[in-house]
A and B are shown apart, each in its own frame.
Chain A
Amino acid sequence: MILSAKNLTVAFGEMRAVDEAAFTVERGESFGLVGESGSGKSTVLRVLAGLIEDWSGSIAFDGKALGRTRDRAFYSRVQMVFQDPYGSLHPRQTIDSALAEPLAIHKMDRHEQRIEKALEEVGLGSGFRFRYPHQLSGGQRQRVAIARALIVEPEMLLLDEPTSALDVSIQAEVLNLLDALRKAHNLTFVMVSHNLAVVAHMCRRLAVMNRGRIVEEMDRDALRRGEAKDPYTRRLMAASRGYDRKLAESFKTLD
């Protein structure tokens, strides 16, 4: 087991964004987090990444309890890909320096080769290397964010909607790449996604969140078969079958 969280609670004022969440993740596994918008998924990842200091409960990473802050060694082992790639790329920094920065922080060698390889792996040619974030499309920015996380060769990746900004062909390439890297290097993923088919493809197990709570945990086979116990999960599965005006109405009355 590489990661375990118990009684994890995060409050913003009166509101509990994460409420007594508990889960474990095995080394080399890919664990999915799905759930309603605003249910606390990104908050869970941000706590794991050490970006929120005000939480209660306990988290253990690789056998050691995690405190409020994380040291540099932690970030060479755990990297996060953010939901909104604009926020994670500095507007006045070229792609090249965005990729060189983590290499410098973690004192890694062969910058030139690593940058070229990282861009190559996410399907961006070297033509993009000296552009600024606003000169890229949404999907191109997201791929830079993924390259930036992979370039330091972490053990665990926290992925927040890593492919929702990508067209399905690039999504397939990025997911295949992530999966291959995971298998080759025994990487661990914790992955948030709204796309149940993506989660079923990538993750052996998943947790479903609603209003800060983990309401259900299941494996991918149960997800594929549509076996859900919790009412919210059942709604999620019904809605994932495609846009349906009548179903949308029924959600309103259910609320």
Chain B
Amino acid sequence: MALTETAPRLRPVRTGQPPARRRDDSRLCRTRTQRILLAVAFVAIVAFPLSVESAFLISLTGTIGIFALAALGLNILSGYAGQISLAQSIFVGIGAFAGVALGGLAELPLLVWLPGTFVAGGLAAALVAPLTLRLKGVFQIVLSLALIFVGHYAFINLPALTGGNGGISATPSLSLGFIDFGELTVAGMRYSYEQGLFILIWLVLAASMIAVVNMHRTRFGRALVAVREAETAAEIAGINAARVKVQAFVLAGAFAGLAGGLLMAQLRYVQAEQFGINMGLELLIIVVVGGLGTTWGPVVGAAVISSIPVLATQYAEHIPFLQADFSQSGEIGIPVGQVGLLIYGLALVLVMVFEPRGLSHIFGAGGRSLLRLARRARTTSEPVLVPQPHAHLGGKA
């Protein structure tokens, strides 16, 4: 039609603002500050355990890393893809028992048994994913409860692998050949198993976080968020929503399995009991309190949620109203065993009411305003235009 051929060239609409800075948002680090922070983080992962003597602190921070890893997986499923699961603990258990089988019983090297826990968690998740993702909302919760019971039943009925109700111990190798995290020796100094394991845990966590950030900022990650926000519109854009959800579920299971493998290495003794509804709830609360669908949420959430009960138990005598053994003293107080539950509940309510975007958002906003202040202080006279870090896809790095 004539009109089509003579259509005038379109003038891009002019606005008062200068043209937007064209950044490549799929990069891992968008600013120099982020690059420096990343390097500092890697140095800290090695330097921290080697300079800290306290076995308690090393084991606590190791546990935080393990829970952060399992929560990182759950965050893919619940945060990015918007699917609820209370059964993440079952996949942690599957990873732990796979670790017992591969690293303990079969005595395979670290480079086999640890990736094996990742694969085991992922395979188990792939098996049940088609079931759970058919359901929505409250039905997903019901099904994940069922999954926990079925998983628990399977664990206690495979005593050769799991030790049944009594649990099973294992001493997996932490050696890469040239370096053995189990008996780390640096510059003539011999470090403990726990110190070496800390490094392994946090290196695995850092690598996993980088992998997840890469996914989140590209096609797959956008597909997850799109399915969460508007499933029909995502399908119309060519996204196979069912497939994407299964992939999210499998990844969640795989990272849970990896966390289970590391937990097994940390405790060197695992029991079916551990991987029940309590851990499932704890992981979900970590993800929610830390910030659903944020990069740092799992770590921040794990640091708060997993450490407070441990700290409370450790320092019970110094905290008023906290009773190590409530039944015998006759005094009124909160029994230490239940303080965890109380804190989970409290944290959940506080976050829901005051900042539904989670703790990592509060910390992130705080950090950014500090940075702005610092920059403004440096360039006093010149007005600077600080690029506004919008909360867009992958924004909260």
Instruction: Report whether chain A binds chain B.
Output: no
* Residues in A lying within 8 Å of B, measured CB to CB: none
